[in-house]
Each structure stands twice: as C-alpha cells, then as structure tokens.
Amino acid sequence: MPGVLDLVGIFVFAVSGALAAVQKRLDVVGMVVLAEITALGGGILRDLVIGAVPPVAFTSVSYVVVPLLASALVFFWHPHFTRIMPAVMLFDAAGLGLFCVTGAIKALDYHLSPLHAVLLGVITAVGGGILRDMMSGQIPSVLYDRQLYALPALVGATVATALWQQPQLHGVFVSAGSALLAFGLRVAAMRWNWRTPRARGVGD
C-alpha cells in the first residue's frame, strides 16, 4: 500500500507539472520534462542528501513510467484536467502529506538528526514544485506561501519525526496520521484561504 500511495502522489505531481507546461505553451518534450521533475525532484534530492544512491527514481521503472502516463493524459485531455483542478488539488494535497512524512522517516532511517529529518521531509514534499517553477520561469510558489503549502509539510514532517522517536509508536498509523494532518491543514488553507503573514507594513 505505501508503494501504491507513493505512485499516486507521483502521478498527481506529474499532472501538475504537465499542466504548468501547457500553461507556458511548451511542447511535448517540455511537458514530459516538467512532469518528471515535479514528480521525482523532491525524492531525488532526498536520496542524494542521505546517500541512498542511486535514487529510487533510477532503480524503479514505474517511477519513470507513471509521469510519462500523466504527461500523455494531459497532452490529449488537458482541458478536462483543467476543469477538475479542484479534485487534482485534493490529490496534490494528499501527495504533499504523504511525501513529507515518507521523506522524514527515510531520513531517520539513515540516522539523520530529528531536525534534519524534518527539513528533508519538507524538501521531499516541495522540492519538485520548486524545480518546476524555476524551470518554467516563475518564482517558486513556496517562497510566497500564501495558501499554506510548505507549512503543512513542515507540520506533518515534524509530527511524524516526533512520534517516530518513540519505538512503540512506529508503524503505519503514525505515518498515516501525520500525513492526514498535513493533508487536512493544506485543504483547510485552500478552503478558507488561510495565509502566512508578510513582513510588518507590507500589504497585499
């Protein structure tokens, strides 16, 4: 089940990357590149940092094929994906919750400190989106976290890391609960337009 959920998250992030390529009027090559980078970028960065080489994205065929499938679907039916963007955003939030937790736990398995595990969990969740935005010529959305994207990842990774320090709490329920917390916070931010504050005196 974790592997299936991982691939679901990869698919959704790949869709967001492919849609960004459509909005930028890129060709099919650009679409595939953005889809692959968005879906796999955070996990590759995580694996390189902790020394898990080669990264899993380069040892599993499905990790490469799933973004290709997402690119093909968006290539032919991008108007339909655009219409169901609210549903896509829900899956994106689920992927965010999943990746921030799996990233943090994998970092702990490689004996990183709790603080660094949290940071790596956030990087796993948002790294692909940062690379997508940079490659498509825009400021990474995480730098103006106006609808709480990085913050839910930070909360989910922190809770997962804190609970994982207790041996009796290891298990799928800790992972699922932490991912659900990040997911819920992200969905609530989208629903009620929660925003992080800007510097004092700087208005909207």
Whether pLDDT at 42 is above 80? yes
- Find, among 99, 75, 90, the residue nearest to 160 by Cα: 99
pTM of the model: 0.86
Query: Residue 67 has what pLDDT?
Result: 95
Query: Residue 86 has what pLDDT?
Result: 75
Query: Residue 59 has what pLDDT?
Result: 92
Query: Residue 77 has what pLDDT?
Result: 86
Tens of pLDDT, residues 119-146 = 999 999 999 988 988 998 888 878 776 6
Q: Specify the DSSP class assigned to residue 92.
A: H
Query: Residue 203 has what pLDDT?
Result: 63
Mean pLDDT over residues 150-162, rounded? 94
Reported confidence tier of residue 30, pLDDT bands at 50, 70, 90: very high
Query: Residue 169 has what pLDDT?
Result: 66
Tokens of 94: 């689920």
Mean pLDDT over residues 181-199, rounded? 87
Q: Specify the DSSP class assigned to residue 112.
A: -
Mean pLDDT over residues 26-48, rounded? 94
Indicate the domain borders of the chain: 2-192
- Find, among 81, 96, 83, the residue nearest to 156 by Cα: 96
CA distance readout (Å), 84 to 15, 22, 70, 81, 190:
12, 15, 15, 5, 15
Tens of pLDDT, residues 56-109 = 899 999 999 999 999 999 999 888 776 766 767 777 788 889 899 989 998 999
